[in-house]
């Protein structure tokens, strides 16, 4: 995972403040490394095949209650970048305030039980009246 941003779904421009009834587009960029190095044992793992994974997007409201969950299956090759967009329609009665976005990438376990992606992309956006 290298980047997460929010876009205005009507024009795909970067935006961090939305009004009730609008659609927020969560834009994620995922990159796949060529190798994995585990220190202190200096274990190297070279990626040679495509990797199937799930991209998971969650959104929580200002009280940190989940209001949106989405996942999709993707495939990526070593050294490639993949772009994913998910739309969240803000209900007309949504709570005003700061919303929390988390984007996670899940795949197989690497050697020694380490997940393929331990990075979680996080950001916030605000909802106004």
Give the CATH number, domain containing residue 82.
Answer: 2.60.40.1930
pTM: 0.81
Beta strand residue intervals within the chain, DSSP E: 3-8, 13-14, 17-19, 23-31, 35-38, 43-46, 51-60, 66-76, 81-89, 97-106, 120-128
> Are the CB atoms for 31 and 80 separated by under 8 Å?
yes
CA-to-CA separations, 27 to 48, 82, 129, in angstroms, rounded: 27, 11, 23
* pLDDT surpassing 60 at residue 1: no
Range of the domain at 22: 3-128
Which pLDDT tens digit goes with each residue over 30-78? Answer: 887 776 666 666 656 667 778 888 889 999 999 999 999 999 999 988 8
The Cα 52–Cα 108 span in angstroms is 8
Which pLDDT tens digit goes with each residue over 94-124? Answer: 999 999 999 988 876 665 656 556 567 899 9
Q: Report the domain count for the chain.
A: 1
């Amino acid at each position: 995972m290298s980047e997460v941003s929010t876009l205005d779904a009507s024009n795909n421009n970067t935006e961090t403040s939305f009004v009730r009834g609008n659609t927020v587009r969560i834009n994620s960029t995922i990159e796949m490394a060529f190798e994995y190095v585990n220190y202190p044992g200096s274990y190297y793992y070279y990626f040679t095949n495509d990797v199937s994974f799930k991209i998971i997007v969650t959104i929580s409201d200002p009280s940190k209650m989940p209001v949106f969950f989405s996942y999709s299956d993707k495939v990526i090759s070593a050294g490639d970048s993949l772009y994913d967009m998910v739309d969240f329609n803000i209900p007309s009665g949504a709570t005003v305030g700061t919303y929390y976005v988390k984007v996670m990438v899940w795949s197989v376990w690497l050697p020694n039980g380490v997940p393929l992606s331990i990075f979680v992309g996080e950001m916030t956006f605000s909802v106004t009246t």
